[in-house]
Structure 1
Amino acid sequence: MNNVEEIKRNDMEGQETKKEPFWIFGYGSLCWNPGFEYKQSVTGYVKGFSRRFWQGNTTHRGTEGKPGRVATLIEDKEGITWGKAFLVAAENNAALPYLSNRECQLGGYRIYTVNFYPKPFLPSSSSDKKDALLYIAVPENKHWLGAAPLPEIARQILECHGSSGPNAEYLLRLADFMREEIPEALDEHLFSLERLVRKFAGDMKICLRSLMGEAQERREEKVEATVPSNQFASRVPEKKLRCVNM
């Protein structure tokens, strides 16, 4: 890939420490559920890529028999993909092993370095680029599903579930993140899929509010079972739920 530099597996995927703080850029579920400790987070973008729901998922958002679809990046000379970057402390020895399991071993992604551009605080200000780690799924991985007509992708997303919840929740939370954090950003692929999923849910009498509420309850139960009370209370995202049957 011309726009990124792949990090050798024996250099990063098993590495537990780094000599200085580093950035991780997320453009999918990491945007609202990073799952690791970080010092700072900022919205921003990477150049030369477009987001596509072309990667299959058989654990978090689907099963072996019915894989879901999650986001990856494809090279696009004119493309810009918005997301969120997280600054991780050098002494954090848990973030990289956690992401190696979540993104690489289970998800089929590879680690790359890329130039990340933080969102300017003011329209007239400039944003200095930063090096960031990035996880991208390429066609050679076993979970790759590739391109398909948008209605077909939307129906697949609506029908699939995994251990982390419904595939539709992944799509809707990502669309909500984009609208709320970067309202000026354009992502026709993402928002077209969101519109189709909402339409098909309405046609099938599926209440997305109930679907997403059940997924949130499962996550909260998991946290309560493993974490002392109130330790992560401030990190639980507010529910922004809609029901298509209203």
Structure 2
Amino acid sequence: MASHSLWVFGYGSLCWYPGFEYRSSRIGHIKGFSRRFWQGNTTHRGVPGKPGRVATLVEDGETFTHGVAYELVGEAALSYLNGREVTLGGYTTLFTEFYPREGAAFPALLYVATPSSQHWLGNAPLHQIADQVVSSRGASGHNVEYVLRLAEFMHEHVPECRDEHLFQLEQLVRLRVKEARLCLRTLMGERAPSPVSSSEDEEVAPAAQRTTSFQFTSAVPAKKLRCLGV
């Protein structure tokens, strides 16, 4: 039963790259939170002095936030998540109810940033957030990849998602990449396989390693971010 397992809710990069072993996954939503790109990042998608922008959750009445819940396997998964999200990301933890597409709701662990986080950037006009995203990269890759892969995941796997903040930011980022004549393929790095299978009820194999994300190495030098002659 789901209530006897530890589940974590992914609403950012965990949607398209969990990076840990899990038993199964469920697409669904949580209530009372909105996804916002208000958290800074200087380890994965930015560097000290030039942070990128990544997603967090802010309390927001009856609003739904869609994403993926993963059933954790063993202590290594939780240790990995705490290192990635708390130690490096500046998030704190809490529990809330997760509502899968089918079946009863169950508790899920959340990683959430707050204004007390040392990396907190807070609200800003979306066009400014887009500018920051396009100009930021870190050890795990470019900030553009983070935003666009999350948006692509929602379009493909959660078509019922109505996240105007995310989708408007996606469009602004794509526009700026086009205007600057940047190479989108290079910014996006190597594509990782989707962590959610076609059948949400079947067992899921351990996530494949992805050398360009959350391994703290960058495969593409910053000076090669432009595609010339394309």
Deviation, structure 1 residue 88: 1.5
2:79 to 69, 91, 97: 97
Distance 1:176 1:31 in 2: 10
Which residues in structure 2 correspond to 1:34-183 (within 5 Å)? 34-89=18-73, 92-120=74-102, 127-183=103-159
Distance 2:108 2:146 in 1: 23
Distance 2:129 2:150 in 1: 16
- Tell me: CA distance 1:114–1:201, structure 2 relative to 1, closer, same or farther (3 Å): same
Q: Secondary structure at the match of 1:216?
A: coil
Deviation, structure 1 residue 78: 2.5
RMSD: 2.3
Bigger RCO of structures 1 and 2 (CA < 8 A, at least 6 apart)? 2
Q: Is the 8 A contact 2:20 2:207 kept in 1?
A: no
Deviation, structure 1 residue 161: 0.3
Task: Tell me what 1:21 maps to.
Answer: 5
Distance 1:118 1:128 in 2: 7
Of all paired residues, the percent bearing the same amino acid is 55
Q: Is the 8 A contact 2:41 2:52 kept in 1?
A: yes
Deviation sequence 1:29-78 (CA, Å, 0-9, x none): 00111111111011000000000000000000000021000000000002
Q: Secondary structure at the match of 1:172?
A: helix
The number of aligned residues is 199
Q: Secondary structure at the match of 2:155?
A: helix
Q: TM-score, normalised by structure 2?
A: 0.81
Distance 2:134 2:99 in 1: 33
Distance 1:234 1:170 in 2: 18
Deviation sequence 1:71-115 (CA, Å, 0-9, x none): 0000000210000000123xx020111111100011000011110
Deviation, structure 1 residue 185: 1.1
Q: Secondary structure at the match of 2:22?
A: coil
Please identify the structure whose Cα radius of gyration is greater.
1
Q: Is the 8 A contact 2:95 2:108 kept in 1?
A: yes
* Amino acid across the alignment from 1:53: F
Distance 1:27 1:45 in 2: 9
Deviation, structure 1 residue 216: 2.1
Task: Tell me what 1:16 maps to.
Answer: none
Q: Which runs of 5+ in 1 are unaligned?
A: 1-19, 121-126, 220-231, 238-242
